[in-house]
Amino acid sequence: MNGHLDGNVLAGPLTEVFAFDPTTALVRCASCGDVSALACAMVYEDPMGLVVRCRRCDNVLMVVVDRPDRTCVATHGMSWLQVMR
């Protein structure tokens, strides 16, 4: 993987999955406990998809695989995701 992008790159693929702007959601890293907006995460483009890492400890928060017929999201590295109404 080359240099990282910020979490705003997730707006496109995740807007098709969630009914809100995902970049404004708060996430808690399951490894270090850091809480921040998803837009602050470090995102790495990989041939298989987008790898989202914690800005503080580099833990993998989420993996997003965007295919023509589906979007798959693995959120194993976050404790929770909070969306304000």
Confidence at residue 1, expressed as pLDDT on a 0 to 100 scale? 59
Of 3 and 33, which is predicted with more confidence?
33
- Neighbouring residues of 5: CB distance < 8 A, sequence distance ≥ 6: 42, 43, 44, 45
The owner of tokens 């009914």 is 19
* pTM, 2 dp: 0.79
The owner of tokens 């921040």 is 36
With 80 as the cut, is the pLDDT of residue 85 above it?
no
Give dist(CA 11, CA 20) in Å, integer. 10
Domains of the chain, residue spans:
5-82
**If you average pLDDT over every residue of the chain, what do you get?**
90
Hey, what are 25's tokens?
Answer: 């959601």
Of 17 and 53, which is predicted with more confidence?
53
